[in-house]
Structure 1
Amino acid sequence: MTSQHEQSYHFGVMRRAIDLIDAGGEGMTLDRLAAEMGMSAAHFQRLFSAWVGVSPKRYQQYLTLGHAKALLHDRCTLLEAADAAGLSGTGRLHDLFLRWEAMSPGDFARKGAGLTVYWGWFDSPFGPALVMGTDKGICGIGFASETGETAAMADLTGRWPQAHFVQAPEHLRPWVDRAFGTHGPDTTPLHLMGAPFQIKVWEALLTIPSGHVTTYSQIAQAIGHPKAVRAVGTAVGRNPISLLIPCHRALRKSGGLGGYHWGLPVKRGILAWESARAEA
């Protein structure tokens, strides 16, 4: 099994390749991509295939901007249908099972006062990941490949400023191994810490199957606030548990990627990774 360190290294290579693909499009040949990475074509092909299970040529197609529109056309999930099919917070996501519980509005209003939050840095398939958790489960995941580690730490700790933060990666390791798919499909607990409206939006995100997408307007419809598209977009952007609560699967109705709190290259990388895994 590929280690998290190796996956993180693979993502770093892919992240550099994204810039080249953006500049050269699908016309960027395997030989040229490999040369720009300082690798042989065979080694570069093996590296990409090990990371996503498809060739660099196929992966280039996933990374193009048109892929988001293709996802909307072919794999756009109607949230009401997904919910009716039982794809909710207890459904299967990222080859693992999630169990979640929400913080009460009163506890959220106290901004984490009296709460102990454990944190640690971990390798992930998408670069360095800052993971935070309470005794109830993971409450935060941030990616630092675009923002930097200092900014990621300030971002997550600033959400619960009255909490007591303790560096304790060993406390989080079992959950992190499940979250990033390196230790079987055991239940991964999540602790959703947000305002009631935000939690409704995050609940809707949890119904979107891996390899599929939805739109901000569909989320607004699903939670009973069809005119609150802008507010939904804000709540999606404030999701603290990246990847596991899949805010990266929310796109603009036009097919545009929209924003992503940890950087659009990371969002594109996650969508491409999921699409390739779904078809592998």
Structure 2
Amino acid sequence: MTGLAPADRPAPARIAADDLRRLAAHIDQVLAEGGRPSVASLAAAIGLPAGEFRRRLEATIGIGPRALLTGRQIAHLRERLLAGDEVTDALYAAGYGSSSRLYERGQAALGMTPGAYRRGGAGVAIGWTTVASPLGLLLVATTAHGVCAVYLGDDEATLRDALEAEFPRATLSRGVARQEWVEAAVAVASGQAGEDVPLDLQGTAFQQRVWRALRSIPRGQTRTYAELATMIGQPTAIRAAARACATNKVSLLVPCHRVVGSNASLTGYRWGMERKRRLIEMERQSSGGLP
């Protein structure tokens, strides 16, 4: 025999919570000094060989070292821009070596140029539309980069006001960038599998990890908030994970409705417990999923 089949191989060990905190502190320190840590230095910070570090990190939080580092950089970039730093100063404080690198990576993650983000989204064009769904009226809003908001409600005026309150400095207009993005949201609102569409969803590195974990929960299944915190490698961060669910602007496409209380109770859904109950029920019926 040449070895175990992939399905028979033991899963990689996970990185302990203390080591994750040590890793984050190392990244923050290097970024604060104007550098960008290498994968080897990340592994060394918690005493692992580079290959083993990569495997354990992916098993623990579902992303590799470069994605983790990019997330921390974007979080630093946001903090510095919102604190009022000039773009050039924020660039170097976040560990970007050139303005071209900043705009190449920063715009993709922020969904807008860093300067526009610093101004609270001023000048960003957001198109929106409403459409009927089994859960009521659905508002879908998009930028040129992807879906930035999905709301559920009973009347268009209320949903439009909520969008304006969420993005007070953006230019809002009726009409979306891509109709298939709307269709994906309607599919999920019907309990079906929607197409994977691009999202323009802003948040901290922690929030992004929670939202990524939410998207990995299979349709027709649920997880508790404790299980969600464990999925991102921070089993004690239950309340923080719940807050990240509450700040998710892209309902349905980032399925925070699939998270329930410790006793499987339906708690904490912005659009109402009845919608959450119906949505979970429709997903289970269409997918054959189990609680």
TM-score, length-scaled by structure 2: 0.55
Question: Does 2:214 match 1:174?
Answer: no
CA positional deviation for 1:198: 2.0
Contact 1:82/1:208, CA 8 A, preserved across alignment: no
Q: Distance in 2 between matches of 1:157 and 1:232?
A: 26
Question: Does 2:259 match 1:253?
Answer: no
Question: Does 2:125 match 1:116?
Answer: yes
| Aligned pairs, number | 183
Aligned twin of 1:238? 247
Contact 1:118/1:166, CA 8 A, preserved across alignment: yes
Among 189, 193, 206, the residue aligned to 2:202: 193
Q: Which amino acid aligns with 1:127?
A: G
Alignment of 1:90-239 (within 5 A): 102-103=109-110, 110-145=119-154, 148-169=155-176, 171-181=177-187, 187-239=196-248
CA positional deviation for 1:211: 0.5
Question: Does 2:276 match 1:273?
Answer: no
Contact 2:60/2:231, CA 8 A, preserved across alignment: no
Alignment of 1:32-47 (within 5 A): none
What SS class does the counterpart of residue 112 from structure 1 fall into?
coil
CA positional deviation for 1:185: 7.0
Contact 1:179/1:188, CA 8 A, preserved across alignment: no
The structure with more strand, counted as a fraction of residues: 1
Q: Distance in 1 between matches of 2:261 and 2:162?
A: 24
Q: Distance in 2 between matches of 1:159 and 1:197?
A: 20
CA positional deviation for 1:81: 9.1
Q: Which amino acid aligns with 2:124?
A: L
CA positional deviation for 1:80: 6.0
Q: Which amino acid aligns with 2:128?
A: W
What SS class does the counterpart of residue 287 from structure 2 fall into?
helix
Q: Distance in 1 between matches of 2:194 and 2:135?
A: 20
In structure 1, runs of 5+ residues without a counterpart are: 1-78, 85-100
Identity of counterpart residues, as a percentage? 33
CA positional deviation for 1:103: 2.1
CA positional deviation for 1:195: 3.2
Contact 2:61/2:232, CA 8 A, preserved across alignment: no
What SS class does the counterpart of residue 199 from structure 2 fall into?
strand
Contact 1:119/1:131, CA 8 A, preserved across alignment: yes
Judging changes above 3 Å, is the alpha-carbon distance between structure 1 residues 121 and 104 closer, same or farther for their aligned structure 2 residues? closer
Judging changes above 3 Å, is the alpha-carbon distance between structure 1 residues 221 and 111 closer, same or farther for their aligned structure 2 residues? farther
Q: Which structure has more RCO (C-alpha within 8 Å, separation ≥ 6)?
A: 1
Q: Distance in 1 between matches of 2:161 and 2:127?
A: 15
Q: Which amino acid aligns with 1:151?
A: T
For 1:140-189, what per-residue CA distance to the aligned partner results, in whole angstroms no more than 9, with x for missing partners?
110113xx4333323333222221111115x442321233349x976522
CA positional deviation for 1:83: 5.1
In structure 2, runs of 5+ residues without a counterpart are: 1-57, 64-107
Larger Rg: 2
Alignment of 1:72-91 (within 5 A): none
Q: Distance in 2 between matches of 1:153 and 1:204?
A: 29
For 1:197-255, what per-residue CA distance to the aligned partner results, in whole angstroms no more than 9, with x for missing partners?
32221111011010111111122222233322112112101211111110000111121
Q: Distance in 1 between matches of 2:61 and 2:209?
A: 15
Q: Distance in 1 between matches of 2:136 and 2:238?
A: 31
